[in-house]
Chains A and B, each alone.
Chain A
Amino acid sequence: MKNRKGLSKVLFFLLLVGLLLTPCGTAFSQPPYKIGYTNCHSGWLGFMGSAWRDGFLLGVEEINAAGGINGHKLNVVLYDDESDVAKGVLAFKKLIDTDKVLMITGQNQSGVAIACAPIAEQSKVPYLGIGASRWIVAKPGKWQLPADPTEVFDYVAKFRVDAQTHVEAMYAFAKKRLGVKKFAWVNSSTAFGMNCKEIMQATYKLAGLELSAMEEYGTNDSDMTSQLTRIKAKDFDAIIIYSSDPAGALVYKQAREMGITKPIIADAPMVATPILKTLGQYLEGLYVCVHAPDVPDLNLLPKNVQPMVPVINKVRKGVMEKYNHRADWINAYGYDGARMVADALRRAAPDPTKLEEARAKIRQALMSTKGFVGAYAMGDVTATHELRVPVVMIRLGKGQKFELAE
């Protein structure tokens, strides 16, 4: 792995000797904790998967550097599902049956995650879902909002990238700060985008807003002018773009090129490092509903999320050192993934040789996570096995400077 390069020659030599002498091959007193990680590092959502992986591996590294968990090294088995259901399911089963991991995390593509959640449940392997659609925690056929605590999988937990929270934050911001009455909506035709669309349709009236146009686009579309033209023809005060992929940034770019001057609000993926690196210069003036780690001046963060600041600083430092770029919320997210896992393992203190029992213990610990403080999420795992993620509204200023918009 990348960090090997970082090790000094001496350490490396010792490690080699260790490898030769001991079968287990680490400096750790205890047998390692083997955990599975699968995600899409290629395919249309690849950029997110890789960013998540970077954060996740950073976290794992720090944990191991600090002597692991109660003397157990954290070993990660890592696969790419290439955003393909069949490949995802196979990878998931391989982790459970062949690699015999204690728990699994990853997968931000809904299609894949939805297919894997029941497998985790059936084979009693704790699964910490990320990204994806919220539905993965809920038992098949029991999908409605709010998820019913009695109808969620026992073994599946998830970070709550809660579209509802985001949408509501956007509404509030649009109304109060921008004085918006009528808004136009654009979303990507992915499970993620479609879910958000449903939530939007269900909630905008309550927020006292009017919907004047509703458009969508495919993830590999590169020309949005048709959709934007339709919007332009309508009467609206602001556009809300809801997308998890770069195409969303293209919508904004092309909207401005088409001379749409009204305020435009988008969701956190637009400030993902790869998007900013490429399209940042075109995103000036975009309002984004982001997560704590994306706020440049952490002192401006609301009181309730202040505890996260030190962790966020740690991620920023780590990512800058390891990958030398600005840490975005996805890195932080992955980093939290590692820390959630570690936290659960620490409290469960399972014996990796007794697989069944260990998995059950970890599940218990994971679901009863309390007062978790991460760089991305914080709080308790709820009755619906979800962990809340706070959001903040920012505005992209000149030179990709972020300004707190609230």
Chain B
Amino acid sequence: MSRIADSKESPIDVTPILEVKDFHKAFGGLIAINRLSFKVNRGDILAIIGPNGAGKTTLFNMINRFQPASGGEILFEGQSIKELSPARVAALGIARTFQILQLFSNMSVVENVMVGRHLRSKGGMLATGLRLPFTRREERNVFDAAMSKLTMMDLKEEAFSSPLSLPYGRQKTLEMARALATEPKLLLLDEPAGGLSTLEIEQLAQLIKGIRDGGITILLVEHRMELVMGIADRVIVLNYGSKIGEGTPAEIQSNEEVISAYLGEEF
């Protein structure tokens, strides 16, 4: 919460890194996202909460362009990304994790993270095929960078084992490491706490804070309150695709509509 105060003092920070205007998505008759608008401020941790089926994952898929929006506009650092390909969006600096893990089981842990360095390395089919000197240097750098990310997430020991051999919680961390390897400006976390123990959630909270303090804005979708209330600067509440509340965790916890619609069940 304190961060909002800070950001008021330094005007540069208030230009939002991501701005969603009047976002709309309908599958046939069913409305998944209903005229949703919000801003993500640089360096914030913004949490989007809501019951299952509230359209949280759909929203993420629209932000990194897996699904087209039926209507509305989306600006990343002031530039429209509505028509870009997912790969382009990633290149601009938006990385994400997945609610259902999407690790590459046909590669080792470190290789998974190395794929994350794809954007940050060079060398096409011909160059790598001919093993030009620079590609070997690139390969070395990619490997080092990946290892340092693993060290940071303390996955170093498992670097050469298969991702599937890791416990579920660690797999989630690995996916985060892979996303971070792209050096994003904005990181989308899709239910990072899902299926984690309370203890693991503690560690996760620290980790996410750490990432944020590393200068990466974080937008996370979650319905585990203990995590959200612990780390979020601001919270947006979705219900059936519509925003029914926005504010600091404290404000949200005291918001009648929200409580009736959702939190009631939780507490």
- The reply to whether A and B meet directly (CB within 8 Å) is no
Give residues in B with beta carbon < 8 Å to A: none
Give residues in A with beta carbon < 8 Å to B: none
